[in-house]
Homo-oligomer: A and B are copies of this chain.
Amino acid sequence: MRVLLGAVIAMGPGKADLLEAIEISGSISAAAKSLGMSYRRAWVLVDTINRCFREPVVTAAIGGSGGGGAEVTPYGREILQRYRAMEARAVAAVARDIEEFSAFLRSRPE
A5 to B53, CA, bound (A): 34
Interface size class of A (residues with CB under 8 A): 20 to 34
User: Contacts A94-B89, A94-B90: A82 and B101 contacting too (C-beta < 8 A)?
Assistant: yes
- Which residues on the B side are within 8 Å of A94 (C-beta)? 1, 86, 89-90, 93
**Which residues of B are found within 8 Å of A104, using beta-carbon distances?**
53-54, 75, 78-79, 82
**Beta-carbon nearest neighbor of A52 in chain B:** B109
Cross-chain contact A109 with B79 (CB below 8 angstroms): no
Chain B CB within 10 Å, residue with most, of A75, A101, A109: A109
Across-interface contacts of A75 in B (CB, < 8 A): 104
Is there contact, CB below 8 Å, between B54 and A105? yes
1/0 contact trace for A76-104 toward B, CB 8 Å? Answer: 00110011011001101110011011001
